Structures are given as structure tokens and as C-alpha cells.
Amino acid sequence: PKDHVKPDGVVSTVCPYCGVGCGIKLELSGGKIVSVSGDTGNPSSRGRLCVKGRFGIKDFVHHADRLTTPLLKRDGQFVESAWDEALEYACSRLYQFKPGEVAVIASAKATNEENYLIQKFARAVLKTNNVDHSARLCHAPTVAGLAAAFGSGAMTNSIGDLNQSGCFFVLGANTSETHPVIGFGIKQAVKNGAKLIVANPVRIPLVRYADIFLQHHPGTDVMLLSAMCKIIIDEELLDRNFIDSRTEGYESLAKSLRKFDLDHAAAVTGVALEDIRMAARLYAGSKTASILYAMGITQHRHGTDNVSSVANLAMLTGNLGKPGGGVNPLRGQNNVQGACDMGALPDVFTGYQKVSDEVAKTKFEAAWGVSLPSEPGLTLLEIIDAIDRKKIKALYVVGENLMLSDPDINRLKRALEKLELLVVQDIFMNETAEMAHAVLPSTTFAEKEGTFTNTERRVQRLRKAVNPVGFSKPDWWITAQLGKRLCGKGFGFSGPEGIFEEITTLTPSYAGISYDRLDQGGLQWPCPSPSHPGTPILYVGSFTRGKGVFKAVKFVPPAELPDDTYPFILTTGRSLYHFHTGTMTRRVKGLNALQPTETLEISGVDASNLGISDGESVRVTSRRGSVTANAVVSKRPKPGTIFMTFHFPETATNILTNPARDPVAKIPELKVAAVKIEKV
């Protein structure tokens, strides 16, 4: 462009938005980011970027709304304070609570080093395992379901080997909008001859490239996947050799499907049996087939069952441990994989070492020089329940805007109002921070060093490009200050590299990774020794648990189904132009221009029956509350289903969503809520 400023510096780092972890080059002038380009040397993205990565960064990093100084609430108003005063306030207040009365929410947007320190602070200083983060709202069922099936829960293959796949089964993932650079790779592979099956309740953009589109009813994935498994078994399309040599439990799965009624499955899913049959044959008949899934699979009260069904399908056809195959959960936020790896979860230390395992606990106690609790802590929604019951009285939230991302916001607000202490650490004031007693200003990704781990388990270096705005500080520094003041030992780090070195001594899957090695390029865990090259494909030859295990899964319908009062199903998702609760993208002029407000997508049939025209304002009501949005009459949802995002505080879609949760992973059913719609 004509107005392109010649940069006086370029810094290679990683995009702060989605889990693809694209490499970006920040071009700098006068201490500010002036433009962003793709890093062609990055193996995950090879120079590609989506609209958020390319155009959605400098506006939020340099935005006038950035928090620049600590804030303490006095008589209901925030007043600016010095760091010393704010830290002293937070520590003196936290000190007053017993271990069972406090909880910590870590951040999928913060670095590995920061998440490590946050969980260390919770466990070693506050003496609680009540630490969780937004993975509870996205891939907790992946961690549980794939760990049960394979022994560990992460993307099995690499972004780079997608082009070796003969067939993609994209299920409950809107890849070209939520992981656009992976979506681009799928489209390229399809153009080069790969087959594509899409299963989604919404006609997503990728459907244009699909050989088969299965538009099933929200919440019927187990039925759909069981039908495909049944067809594969009945038609002997399975990989007998793989099943015999690499798995166990096949007989129990086969037995559970013997009387499975395919016609019933077609009726429940709303998909013609012939289409399910074609999809099963195409997937099983391909030499290599890759399953990619996201929150359409996990955000259900039976999310773990969905993931188990995905694992069953892949094992039946031997599509594991080889290039172009695999079970590939696409992680949502830039470092949600890393936050899980770092133990920002209530039941595990780093590298998924159980807090209840005496050997692991003893190891961490020796390293940290403190005694640690061994009872697993509460999950995110259990923490909210406990706050509501006044059992948990103090909450420390780092980089999460619970008041837009969590289900049933009205109830959440009532619960948070009961807190005796809420400390929020963030880069902007947001709906959660507004409720806090203390707000601690942190820096963006561009103002700090560290590492992120992307969706394909690749640990990558984040590099500082510009100075922190005002008095803001990196999250690792803030947590370390709290730790030092409250505990005195174990938090005397001078920078992220020292924290990373501590992580590698305690985490076998990260043991061989160092900043020096990462400066030569990212490394995929497990990387157990300094000479290990990293692991692009998991489960070559054997699974983490030895043999993979099938699980017979029974279909459980969503917690809410349409009825006379609430006759529609609301399913939620994301837009290409905005990210999560919009804290960053809503401050980017260009992205806001592309999508300025929330919309409610409704089928032409439903719109006409309700007398709703395109652009008209409508009220949507669930059992938990109401919101208004402008209707978009669309071919994407089918009659009976409506679609909304949750990026807009003005609408706060999650007022409507259902907190009913999966019994294993404790994820709420964000994808299915019964609603009614009225013209305003």
C-alpha cells in the first residue's frame, strides 16, 4: 500500500489468536507495530495468515483502552494505584482465606511459562488444586476421551501432513472460519484430489468443497458416529490387522452395535441413511483418512462420549500412527494446548502428571520445597457453583473474561457478586474485570517473551517486539510477585527462560526442549531429550497406553430438546472476523467493520413462519434469560436450528446457553439450548 511505513525492525513471533499458531513477522517503526506479515519459515503456517492474524494485531496492541496501571476499587469506583500497593492489597486479602476458599483461573492466552507459574502459585502458595481455565469450555472432553482411548489427549498428527490425507472427515469444526490456515490446507488438498466429508448442523463455508455433507441435528454426533461404525463393521470395511495387533475392546464395541438400528439413527440425526452409508464407505475406503474436530464435538453434556466415538471410528479403520491420518482435535485459543500441558487443570501437574499420584506429588514437593495438596481441585463450573454457595470466597482470574465466555451468564453474575475478593489480571477492562476488587494490568503477546504450544503440540518462541504500555507487566512477573510476597521462595525468576528451564526438569514430554533449540524452530512434544527431534505423529507402532482401547458408547440426547414453549435449538459458534469474547478483535477497526454486531442466523422457512425479515431485531429467550439480535435469514442453519456467536458483549449470547455438563469432563452444553424467538 502507498502508506506503508518502511520498518526500522522486524520481530518473528507467533499469532496470538487461534491454536494454529501461525508464525508472524511484526514490522516496527518508532517503537510501534506498523504491519504484520506471514513468516514463511514457520512450519505450521508457511507464511499464510488469516484476516485476524494479518490485520487484527496492531490496533489492539496499541489501543487507547489498554489497562496501563493497577486499579483498586474504593466505594464502588476504580482508583489508580501503584504496583506495590496493588500487590500488597491482593496478597493481604488472599492471605485471609483458607485453601478450600480460594480458586484460580489460568489463561489459554498466556504463555506456557505464565501458566506454569499460575498453577504453581495455586498449588504451592494457596495450597489448593482449585485451578482451571477455559479448556474446560473447549477440549476437556478431548483430554479425557483420548487419554482413555490412546493414553494421551492431543492432536495426533501435524498440520504439515494434512496434504498426505486421502480423505478428511471434518466434524463439528468450522475450519475455514475458526482455524482458517488449516482450512486453507484442506481446500488445497481437496483441489489436489483428496475427498472431504463435512458433518455439521450448520452449512459452513467448507461445505462448498465437500463430497458429502451430513447436516445432522445438534447433539446427535454419537448416533451419527455409531451408525458409521456399524456400517463399517457390517460391510467389513475395517482394518482387521490394526484392530488385532494395536487395540483391545473391539468385541465389546461390536457387540454393542449388533442390534443398533440404522433407520432409527437416520431419524434421530435427521440425515438420510444413504448419506451416512456413503460417508462411512468413503472414510473407511480411503488409504489414509484424517478426522478433524472441534467444539461441535466437545461442547455437549456427552462430549467425552463424542470423543470416544471419534476414537472408535479411527481405530476401526487403522487410521492412527501414519501421515495423513489421525484424530485431530483443533484447539481453539493460541495456547490452550500449552495451558493444559502446564497443569492449569485441577487434577494434574505439568505433562498430565496426576496430583493424586504420590510419586508425582513427591517429585513436585521436592522441587518446589513445599507440601502440596493431593485431592484434585474443582473444575471451572464447579468453582462457580462453590462461589454461589459461598464456599469459595476469593478468585484470582488471569486473562479470561468469564462474564462472556461461560454459560448462563445471569447466574454467573449473581455468583461472582458474592465473592469477597476478585482479582482480575488482563490487558483490557472487560465484563469480568468490571466486577473485580483489584485489576492488575498485563502486557500483550507483543510485549513479552515466552513460549506458546499450538494445536499440533508444537512449542514455539514468542518474542518481545515493543515495550509494555504504561505500567503494565507480563503475567509471569505479576504472578511471581504475588508468589514471592506470599511464599518467599520458588518465584525468584528474572525472566521466562528460567521458568521454562524449571518446566523441562519436571515435565518429561518437554524435557528435551530449550530456548536455544526453539530459536532454530518449533518442537513438537513429546521431546524427551536434548537430542530428540520431537514427535510430528503420535502412536506410530504403539499407543501411550500400549494398546488403544475401544469404548461402547450409548447415545444420550442433549439436556434440552425443543418443546412447545421453546421450539428452536440454538447452537453457538464463531465468526471468521472475531475471536472469543471479542476483547481484542472488537478493538480492531477493520474487523469491526466486517462484522459490527451479533446476528441470529435463521432458516428461510422459520423466518417466514415467524414473519421475520432479514435485518429485523428479534428477541431470543431460553430458560435462563433473553437477548436481542438482528436476524439474518440464511441457508446455513436448517429449519428448527438457529445460530449465534458469543463475541459481542452488547448481546451476551451466553445468557442463553445451558450449563448442563458432561459427567466426566465437566464441560457445559454450549452447543445446544432450547429457545423461542419473537419479533421485538
- Residues lying near ligand SF4 in the complex (CB under 6 A): 15, 17-18, 20-22, 45, 49-50, 52-53, 179-181
Cis preceding linkage at 536, omega within 30: no
Residue 326 contacts residue 537 (beta carbons within 8 Å): yes
In the bound state with ligand SF4, the residue whose beta carbon lies nearer, of 49 and 569, is 49
Name the residue nearer to ligand SF4 (CB basis): 182 or 559. 182
Rg from Cα positions in the chain: 24
Nearer to ligand SF4, 15 or 33 (CB): 15
User: Hey, which residues does 397 pair with through a beta bridge?
Assistant: 105, 424
Distance CA 642, CA 600 (A): 7
- Considering the complex, what minimum distance in angstroms separates the CB of residue 468 from ligand SF4? 22
**Cα separation of 422 and 227, whole Å?**
48
> Closest distance between ligand SF4 and the C-beta of residue 434, in Å?
27
Phi, psi of 82 (to 5 degrees): -80, 160
Nearer to ligand SF4, 339 or 378 (CB): 339
Indicate the residue among 321 and 573 with the shorter CB distance to ligand SF4: 573
State in angstroms the smallest separation of the CB of 653 from ligand SF4.
Answer: 21
Nearer to ligand SF4, 454 or 509 (CB): 454
Minimum CB distance to ligand SF4, residue 56 (Å):
8
The least distance separating ligand SF4 from the CB of residue 170, rounded to whole angstroms, comes to 15
**Is the CB of 315 or the CB of 330 nearer to ligand SF4?**
330
| Closer by beta carbon to ligand SF4, 48 or else 676 | 48
| Closest CB 49 distance from ligand SF4, rounded Å | 4
Sign of CA dihedral 645, 650, 656, 657: positive
641-645 and 568-573 as β-strands: parallel, antiparallel, unpaired? parallel
Residue 68 corresponds to which cell in the numbers above?
496501563
Q: What is the rounded distance in angstroms from the CA atom of residue 180 to the CA atom of residue 171?
A: 15
Residue nearest to ligand SF4 (CB): 53
d(CA 404, CA 506): 35
B/e letters for 504-517, b = 16+ CB within 10 Å, e = fewer, are: bebbbbbbbbbeeb
Question: Which of residues 181 and 427 has its CB atom nearest to ligand SF4 in the complex?
Answer: 181
Residues 396, 579, 576, CA angle at the centre, nearest 5°?
A: 165
Cα 24–29–31 angle (5° rounding)?
90
Q: How many CB atoms lie within 10 A of CB 497?
A: 15
DSSP 226-249: HHHHHHHHHTT-S-HHHHHHHEE-
Alpha-carbon distance 45 to 49, whole Å? 7
Instruction: Identify which of residues 39 and 447 has a Cβ nearer to ligand SF4 in the complex.
Output: 39
Residue 255: exposed, middle, or buried by beta-carbon count in 10 A (0-12, 13-18, 19+)?
exposed
Chain Cα centroid distance, residue 252:
32
Cell numbers at 155, concatenated: 492432536
- Exposed/middle/buried for residue 141 (C-beta within 10 Å: 0-12, 13-18, 19+): buried
Cβ closest to ligand SF4, residue 450 vs residue 668? 450
Q: How far is the CB of 589 from ligand SF4 (least distance, A)?
A: 17
Q: Which residues contact 254 (CB under 8 A, 6 or more apart)?
A: 233
Which set of grid coordinates corresponds to residue 228?
458409521
Residue with smaller CB distance to ligand SF4, 185 or 526 = 185
Which residue, 606, 608, 591, is CA-closest to 647? 591
Residue 241: Cβ within 10 Å count = 9
Neighbours of 520 (CB within 10 A): 8
Query: Which is nearest to 277 in space by CA: 239, 243, 222, 229?
Result: 229
* CA distance linking residue 297 with residue 382, whole number of Å: 22
**Shortest distance, CB of residue 574 to ligand SF4, whole angstroms?**
11
User: CB of 469: closest distance to ligand SF4 in angstroms?
Assistant: 22
Nearer to ligand SF4, 20 or 138 (CB): 20
Q: Which is nearer to ligand SF4, 99 or 521 (CB)?
A: 521
Identify which of residues 52 and 123 has a Cβ nearer to ligand SF4 in the complex: 52
Cis before 526 (ω within 30): yes
Q: How far is the CB of 47 from ligand SF4 (least distance, A)?
A: 11
Q: C-beta of 427: minimal distance to ligand SF4 in Å?
A: 17
Q: What is the DSSP string of 569-600?
A: EEEEE--TT--TTSTTGGG-HHHHHH--S-EE
